Amino acid sequence: MHFHFFLALIAMLLPLIVAIPERHSLAGLWQPIQNTSDPKVIELAKFAISEYNKNTTKKLAFESVVSGKFAHMSGTFYELVVAAKNESLPTPVENYGADVWVLGFYQKLKFLGLDRCEIVLLYPIIS
């Protein structure tokens, strides 16, 4: 009797074990953005700068996406390092950390914040 119970348990759990995706795509795990020139990534960075500019006197102009990472958690969270220039001052390009949340099926964008940062590598380069 115990043997049949054990077989039934394995038969029920085996599809669940097989259906688990690879570790790098599990929900909640941060993954590096491989292509920082991807149009979707650039769109997210420009959106963050646009939203930031709505609420400040310091107006930033997008230059490029330096690096970034994302994680799937009730949508997709993006942490980007964006190179931007202050439009009103003759200052050099600076790096800013931008956080954007892409919500659900309709891909609604939610701006979470943008701050000047010094760190440009979100993942260390291992040689």
Predicted pLDDT at 126? 46
Predicted pLDDT at 117? 87
What is the DSSP secondary structure assignment for residue 28, as one 8-state letter? T
For residues 95 and 9, the model is more confident at 95
- Please compute the mean of the pLDDT values over residues 65-90 and round it to a whole number: 92
Predicted pLDDT at 21? 41
Mean pLDDT of the chain: 80
Predicted pLDDT at 8? 60
Per cent of the chain over pLDDT 70 is: 71
Rounded CA separation 78/99 (Å): 6
Per cent of the chain over pLDDT 90 is: 55
This prediction has a pTM of: 0.71
In order of 21, 49, 110, 123, the CA distances from 119 in angstroms are 31, 18, 23, 10
